[in-house]
Amino acid sequence: MTAADGYDYRRVQMVEALERLGITDLRVLEAMRRVPRDLFVPEAYRQVAYSEDVSINIGEGQTISQPRVVASMTQAARIGADDKVLEIGTGSGYQAAVLAQLARFVFSVERIPSLARTAKATLDHLGIENVTVKVMDGTLGWRAFAPFDAILVTAAAPEVPQPLVEQLAEGGRLVVPVGARDTQVIRVVERRGARTVVSELQGACFVPLIGRHGWAGEGR
């Protein structure tokens, strides 16, 4: 996937920076070394595609998260090679592409059709075949393919969406930023039988998760 694109060296530098920031999972680091993030951002922003701490506007008022946030959420999800993973908030498709390197199947949902279309085109262009993208309200999860070994929510929820907890497999991990519209804490919710164990990962600043179990959007 890493053709001689002129960005290979920057990608290696980004991964070294992630290691310095405390990312230790070698599979996550290797996945981020492989995926060409520059192809997931608008052309005008390619020069900053590998800055570990920069989120980038991808249109429709949405962003692609900072590589350090992608790395730490992915690490927290502890994804195994046979896992089935759900992502809420496809955006550019970059996080889905990283997950695709780590899991067997990735299901990714996005509420804005134009973003879903562009993300799908980028994933197809890169020959990534184990990601299925759909336009829908991800706060409801994706019951047809549940249960999931891991669920990553890449937009900020006012509280943990209950349908997502219900769609976790036994031992499954849900990683979700929860809090106010402008600042949140990323929570990791792990399903253990009828119980859940919740821990906090780090502070974050995501765009809002809009939907039935999220924030109200325009017209709601």
Residues taking part in catalysis = 65
What number of other Cβ atoms are within 10 A of residue 109's Cβ? 22
Task: CB nearer to ligand SAM: give 36 or 138.
Answer: 138
Selected from 50, 94, 107, 148, the binder of ligand SAM by CB under 6 A is 94
Selected binder of ligand SAM within 112, 174, 175, 204 (CB under 6 A): 112
Rounded to a whole number of angstroms, the minimum distance from the CB of residue 149 to ligand SAM is: 18
Q: Does 133 sit near ligand SAM (CB under 6 A)?
A: no
SS (HEC) of 44-72: HHHHHCCCCCCCEEEECCEEECCHHHHHH
- Three-class DSSP category at 220: coil
Q: Which of 64, 126, 150, 186 binds ligand SAM (CB under 6 A)?
A: 64
Indicate the angle between helix axes 94-102 and 26-34, nearest 10 degrees: 130
Q: What is the DSSP string of 82-109?
A: T-EEEEE--TTSHHHHHHHHHSSEEEEE
Which amino acid appears at position 61 of this protein?
G
- Per CB under 6 A, 79 contacts ligand SAM: no
Radius of gyration of the chain (CA): 16
Task: Answer whether 111's CB lies under 8 Å from 211's CB.
Answer: yes
User: Of 179 and 211, which has the nearer Cβ to ligand SAM?
Assistant: 211
- Which of residues 172 and 208 has its CB atom nearest to ligand SAM in the complex? 208
According to the binding rule CB under 6 A, does residue 167 interact with ligand SAM? no
179 lies in the site for ligand SAM, by CB under 6 A = no
Q: Does 138 bind ligand SAM (CB under 6 A)?
A: yes
Piece in contact with ligand SAM (CB under 6 A), picked from 25-33, 46-54, 89-97, 122-130: 89-97
